[in-house]
Amino acid sequence: MKRPSSGKGAEKPSKQQVMEVDKVKSLFNKKIWDSQFQDQLKQEIHDAKPYTWGNIRDLVDDELLRNVRKEIETEIHFTKKETDIYKVNQSGDLANLSGLDWDDLSRLPNLCKLREILYSEVYRDVISYVTGAGKLSGAKMDMSINTYTKGCHLLTHDDVIGSRRVSFILYLPDPDKTWKEHYGGGLRLFPSIVANVPHSDHTAKLVPQFNQIAFFQVQPGYSFHDVEEVRVNKHRLSIQGWYHIPQEGEPGYIPGEEEQWVKTNTSTLAQLESNVLQDYEFPKDERDILPYHEVKHFEKILADHSDEKEKENTPVSAVADSNTLTDEELRYLSEYISEDYLTASGIKSLQSKFLEKSFLQIDSFLNEKKSKLLKQLIRHDELEEECPYEANKVEAPWKTAIPPHKWRYLYIDGKSPENFRTEQDILERLNNEELPNYTLLKQSLNKSKNNTEYELISLVEFLKSTIFKKYLALLTLLCPLSERMLIRRFRPGKDFTLATQINKNELLKNIDGFVDAVLEGTLCLTPSAGWESGEVGGYELYMDNQNDEEADKDIEDAAVYKTDDSGDSVLINKPPSWNSLNLVLRDESVLQFIKYVSWSAKSSRWDVSMQWDVKTVDDENDE
Amino acid sequence: MAKRTLGLGKQNKNQKKQKVSDKSTPAGSPTPDVSPANQIIVEVDEDKDPEDELVQLKGLWRTYFDSDRDDELVLNGIVHECDRLLRSSNEDASLKLNDEFHALYALALSELTIFKAGEEEEESAEPKNVETVTQFFDTALERCNLGLAAFADSSLLKLVAAKILLQRIPLEYISHLKVADKNADELKLDLKLKEAKSDFCICSNHLELTFEVLQLFDDLLDIVENFGHEDDIDEGLDSDAEEELEMVKLSHKHPLYKIQKHLNDNYAWLREQFQSLFKELKKPEGQDEEVISKTPELKLYHPVARRLGQLYLKAAEHPSQIFLTLAYDNEEGQKKIDNLTEKEAQKEALSLTSKAVEYLEEARVEHDPQTWADVAEAVIDLGNLYDAGSSDQEKCYKKAEKILTKANKATHGKYEDILNNLLDGE
């Protein structure tokens, strides 16, 4: 996933006037030149948890920074950008400030001065010393200015891109006011279970103040952090930057070092795609294969060419092998589904819509009775029950989806309870795989305590039934081969999924008629209003990742989905709602994600997420 | 039809190709896109004849009124339909046009000004559009007056006349005003506002429209109150919602001077009207959400109560400030501020804030914790007004704590800060 600043803008500036060392030093708080201060800071950073990081209060001359802030306020234009991983007001890249014409330079003299001192050798040496990160480049400057306003956030990432060696953030909120913790906008650091698998929750947090700098060594697989959502109508202005590996001609330059570093550190995304790391993802993005005796009925239903007489002589199994619904099947389906969608004409109309569009949106999918019951239960949970916000407080049957640089949400998967704290926990689970058994899970629940979960699981049992899958086959004319069901809850101020492509089922790919796509269903059961504008996130977005010019496999930038004027890349954008089912046949080129749910959302986003591998069945009558 | 669906991505790619090939066909008369989005489904009341043209017209207006109101075409459709009906009525004596017809005609014309003003913003150098806005408002008022000539007692037409004026003052006049302007005698905005107030009436058959007209009045007062501060609000990086901005001092020749001077009276008038409207409403009690959303007297109950609560809180601000200053921050030993003693200010503030609490209690919705917190915050205000340490004060704080604790739980800690403040104060 693309990071907020790719470092592409980092460049070697042409000659610039260099400030005298004494002048540079005078523009910093003089304490940082004191060796005792440096040693103490070095020790603090060394001892810091969850990885080496530090911060300095009142870093630079107060007047200089106030002037910088004024310049930014009056001279820089911010544009709000939103992707799956962030929402932030970004300014242009400042790396080429010195390349600006004189007009522009005169507009931003203080900012230019600040950049010069931050990349001065004497200051770089301090940072290099206290972090122990090695020599840092002064030639390759890399800065950007962001302001986080209400609702802005940046989800967990490790900053590993190119030759970055140290990340820093200099904060510039209102200089005359204390930035309070409840404003949000904190820098939060995440410990890792193993390399590249951060814990779900942060263990360190910095509440930023004016003229405070935070910094850390970029450590592939470990330096995971995020920016907590800003909760109030205030500007958390910051200058974000990186120190890179020394470039040719600079002190500390080692030929080949940068190339080697970049080569070794594949991006986080590439690592996530590797097989080993997939083992550490929960829940698994995989579907369990259906028993053949079940599948063969769907095959017959879709290829329904048996004559009436043959049907009469065939005993009825869980489902009748005809492409219409029997009275018994209708009775079963109507336990949950609205009658409108069960009539022959209702099914026909959904079927033709699905064939035409590859997706279906079915509103008021559950019948009134079930809808009312579930709404009442979910609302009750939202309003009366404490919702756990830390992974270690999450209780069975709920689990927390990890790792947080891919997704975070609560889910029920129909398997034994688990709450991973260590690598060993995960390895034990991997050594003892099990299939979901919602029925068993339901029996283990205390109904009076987990009434909502009990009813949601009953719903999933229904959705897993053979009769429902027959109905699904009739709607889509596709034969289900495997399935996965999850009950999910995305908590405000906490949960999301990042954009991913489908994970194809390797075991099924050679089956006749196998469709190179996954059939996905999302039954959204979010009981609150206020989602329509998209401001509070939580929406499910499908976007096109096809690039006709170059078959670039890298998920370059989900950012385009909001800035693309044509709107072509967004295929479906569905805000959370009550009782609507979305069915999508998602092929490989389509990315999907659930946008981070804002802290100001009125409730969690609740849904049942379904996936099926599917194949086509030839209708011999048509041939 | 395809034998099977292609998959979302491929489908999209195919469609794009199709679009490209569409473009390559010679541009003759473009075939209109008959997507469902272009068609309007007009719902008419169940007990009404769907073939009746006036019923259809009403349905069309309803479609616009209940929508996001971003479709100019619907309004144009209404205006055209009204023109047609008007012509038909001249030829066919059996077609009787009622007051509602004139009202809808005038409403559609007045709503079109929003789109015209939008165009004006886009092409700022075009004075033509300023004229268009004026013309549309004039035509809308003319239509209203023609209607009133035939139906002098129509409360709907009077309400519509008020609506047009209240929409016109900000859109046509204030949007072009500067702080230094001195053309009060020319624009006579205070008289226009007075006219709107005298036209206004509660229309029992059109409660939603009544509510909307009051909201227009409310917005107008807000605009006048913040006049001259527009840039302060948008620009400053840390414009803090907690900080109250002083009203900009205007010359007595400024078109808004008189309205600003009588702001309190206008707010008092607004409260009275909201109260009259509130009397027409019914408290939802266990009805289905869908039923509530389709029944104006149920649907408006909570929003009107909430706004009334907020307006009473606003009214209480001034005496509250005086009381708190005289009671707790009075180093100079002042006896009176703005002619109010400590006791007088306390009494007035308590009475207004109690009213606010009453209305906010009525606005409380079981599944919306924000409405609970609104009550709690008003109750804290109330507590602050009682004598320090008094049992009344304690009672208020306890009540607020209880509500906030519950609301905080329901909203994953949204009220943590207020709650902590409350508990710290104890």
Q: What is the pLDDT of residue A105?
A: 56
**pLDDT for A337-358, tens place per residue?**
999 999 999 999 999 999 999 9
Longest dimension (CA), chain B: 89
Q: Which two tokens stand for residue B45?
A: 């009341």
**pLDDT for A275-315, tens place per residue?**
678 899 999 999 999 999 999 999 999 987 666 666 666 66
Find out whether A582 and A359 touch, Cβ atoms under 8 Å. yes
The CA distance from B272 to the nearest CA of chain A, in Å, is 30
C-alpha to C-alpha distance for A385 and A371, rounded to whole angstroms:
20
Query: Backbone phi, then psi, for B300, in 5-degree steps?
Result: -85, -10
Q: What is the pLDDT of residue A604?
A: 97
Asked if A571 and B9 come within 8 Å (Cβ–Cβ), the reply is: yes
Map tokens 């330059």 to a residue.
Answer: A253
Residues of A in contact with B369 (CB under 8 A): 383
Q: Flag whether the ipTM exceeds 0.95.
A: no
Q: What is the pLDDT of residue B2?
A: 44
- Angle between the A109-118 and A62-75 helix axes, to the nearest 10 degrees? 130
Contact pairs from chain A to chain B, CB under 8 Å = 109
Which segment of A10-14, A74-78, A170-174, A363-367 scores lowest on mean pLDDT?
A10-14
**Residue spans of beta strands (DSSP E) within B236-317:** none
Query: Which residue in the set A182, A571, A585 is minimally distant from B5, CB to CB?
Result: A585
Provide the mean pLDDT of chain A.
Answer: 88
What Rg value do the Cα atoms of chain A yield, rounded? 28
pTM higher than the cut 0.80: yes
Which segment of A275-279, A313-317, A319-323, A581-585 scores lowest on mean pLDDT?
A313-317
**Residue spans of beta strands (DSSP E) within B371-417:** none
Q: What is the pLDDT of residue A91?
A: 79
Q: Give the CA distances from residue A286 to residues A279, A283, A450, A484, B425, in Å, rounded to whole numbers and listed in that order.
A: 11, 8, 27, 7, 54
Q: What is the pLDDT of residue A43?
A: 97
C-alpha to C-alpha distance for B326 and A89, rounded to whole angstroms:
44
The CA distance from A136 to the nearest CA of chain B, in Å, is 33
Find out whether A157 and A269 touch, Cβ atoms under 8 Å. no
pLDDT at residue A259 tops 60: yes
What is the CB neighbour count within 10 angstroms for residue A317?
Answer: 13
Please name each of the domains of chain A with its CATH number.
Answer: 21-278 (2.60.120.620), 281-622 (3.60.130.20)
Q: Which two tokens stand for residue A300?
A: 């017959």
Query: Which residue in the set A235, A355, A527 is minimally distant from B2, CB to CB?
Result: A355
Chain A contact for B287, CB < 8 A? no
Segment B171-175 mean pLDDT: 92
C-alpha to C-alpha distance for B197 and B200, rounded to whole angstroms:
5
Segment A165-175 mean pLDDT: 96
Nearest residue on chain A to B6, alpha-carbon basis: A358
Confidence label for B27 from pLDDT (cuts 50, 70 and 90): very low
C-alpha to C-alpha distance for A606 and A604, rounded to whole angstroms:
6
Confidence label for A2 from pLDDT (cuts 50, 70 and 90): very low
Segment B118-145 mean pLDDT: 79
Asked if B5 and A477 come within 8 Å (Cβ–Cβ), the reply is: yes
Q: What is the pLDDT of residue A99?
A: 41
Residues of A in contact with B368 (CB under 8 A): 602
Find out whether A382 and A527 touch, Cβ atoms under 8 Å. yes
B370-406 residues labelled b (16+ CB within 10 A) or e (exposed): ebbbbbbbbbbbbbbbbeeeeeebeebbebbbebbeb
Q: Would you say how long chain B is, in residues?
A: 426
Q: Which two tokens stand for residue A288?
A: 């369990």
Q: What is the pLDDT of residue B28?
A: 38
Residues of B in contact with A384 (CB under 8 A): 409-410
Query: Which residue in the set B6, B409, B412 is minimally distant from A492, CB to CB?
Result: B412
Amino acid identity of A366? L
Confidence label for A273 from pLDDT (cuts 50, 70 and 90): low
**Residue to substitute from B68, B238, B372, interface A, most A β-carbons within 10 A:** B238
Nearest residue on chain B to A616, alpha-carbon basis: B4
Nearest residue on chain B to A501, alpha-carbon basis: B9
C-alpha to C-alpha distance for B285 and B282, rounded to whole angstroms:
9
The CA distance from A359 to the nearest CA of chain B, in Å, is 7
Confidence label for B34 from pLDDT (cuts 50, 70 and 90): very low
**Residue to substitute from A355, A570, A619, interface B, most B β-carbons within 10 A:** A355
Find out whether B80 and B54 touch, Cβ atoms under 8 Å. no
Query: Which residue in the set A355, A491, A584 is minimally distant from B412, CB to CB?
Result: A491
Asked if B238 and A527 come within 8 Å (Cβ–Cβ), the reply is: no
Find out whether A480 and A614 touch, Cβ atoms under 8 Å. yes
Q: Which two tokens stand for residue A117?
A: 């001192």
Q: What is the pLDDT of residue A210?
A: 97
C-alpha to C-alpha distance for B76 and B109, rounded to whole angstroms:
8
Half-sphere exposure of A574 (CA within 13 A, CB side): 28
Query: CA triplet B306, B307, B310: central angle to 5 degrees?
Result: 90
Asked if A389 and B412 come within 8 Å (Cβ–Cβ), the reply is: yes
Q: Which two tokens stand for residue B330?
A: 């009075």
Asked if B7 and A586 come within 8 Å (Cβ–Cβ), the reply is: yes
Which segment of A219-228, B341-350, B360-369, B412-421 scores lowest on mean pLDDT?
B412-421
The CA distance from A584 to the nearest CA of chain B, in Å, is 7
Asked if A586 and B8 come within 8 Å (Cβ–Cβ), the reply is: yes
Confidence label for B42 from pLDDT (cuts 50, 70 and 90): confident
H/E stretch holding B221: helix B207-225
Asked if A383 and B4 come within 8 Å (Cβ–Cβ), the reply is: no
The CA distance from B236 to the nearest CA of chain A, in Å, is 8
Strands A53-56 vs A204-206: parallel, antiparallel or unpaired: unpaired
Q: What is the pLDDT of residue A12?
A: 45
Asked if A234 and B240 come within 8 Å (Cβ–Cβ), the reply is: yes
The CA distance from A246 to the nearest CA of chain B, in Å, is 36
Q: Which two tokens stand for residue A110?
A: 């203080």
Residues of B in contact with A152 (CB under 8 A): none
Name every residue whose Cβ is closer than 8 Å to that of residue A206 and which is 6 or more positions away in sequence.
A55, A186, A187, A188, A212, A214
3-state SS assignment for residue A344: helix
Chain A contact for B4, CB < 8 A? yes
Exposed / middle / buried, residue A548 (Cβ in 10 Å: 0-12, 13-18, 19+): exposed
Query: Which residue in the set B1, B9, B238 is minimally distant from A590, CB to CB?
Result: B9
| Alpha helix ranges (H) inside A160-256 | none
Q: What is the pLDDT of residue A549?
A: 44
| Alpha helix ranges (H) inside A226-367 | 257-264, 268-273, 275-279, 292-302, 308-313, 327-333, 344-357
Asked if A587 and B240 come within 8 Å (Cβ–Cβ), the reply is: no
C-alpha to C-alpha distance for A361 and A350, rounded to whole angstroms:
9
Query: Which residue in the set A237, A383, A544 is minimally distant from B410, CB to CB?
Result: A383
Chain A contact for B23, CB < 8 A? no
Measure CA of the first residue to CA of the last residue in chain B; give whole Å.
72
Specify the long-range contacts of residues B327-331, CB closer than 8 Å, at least 24 apart: B327/B388, B328/B388
Confidence label for B13 from pLDDT (cuts 50, 70 and 90): confident
Confidence label for B232 from pLDDT (cuts 50, 70 and 90): low
Highest mean pLDDT among A416-430, A540-554, B235-249, B272-286: B272-286
Map tokens 């003319």 to a residue.
Answer: B142
Higher-scoring residue by pLDDT: A21, A263: A21
Confidence label for B128 from pLDDT (cuts 50, 70 and 90): low
Find out whether A159 and A31 touch, Cβ atoms under 8 Å. no
C-alpha to C-alpha distance for B410 and A417, rounded to whole angstroms:
26
Residues of A in contact with B241 (CB under 8 A): 233
Find out whether A477 and A351 touch, Cβ atoms under 8 Å. yes
| Alpha helix ranges (H) inside A76-186 | 102-107, 109-118, 121-131
Query: Which residue in the set B9, B238, B409 is minimally distant from A546, CB to CB?
Result: B9
Nearest residue on chain A to B10, alpha-carbon basis: A587
Asked if A587 and B237 come within 8 Å (Cβ–Cβ), the reply is: no
**Residue to substitute from A478, A491, A585, interface B, most B β-carbons within 10 A:** A585
Q: What is the pLDDT of residue B233?
A: 53
Query: Backbone phi, then psi, for A415, in 5-degree steps?
Result: -110, 180
Confidence label for A117 from pLDDT (cuts 50, 70 and 90): very high
Instruction: Report residue A287 CA to chain centroid gap.
Output: 21
Q: What is the pLDDT of residue B17?
A: 66
**pLDDT for B262-287, tens place per residue?**
999 999 999 999 999 999 999 999 88
Provide the mean pLDDT of chain B.
Answer: 87
3-state SS assignment for residue B142: helix
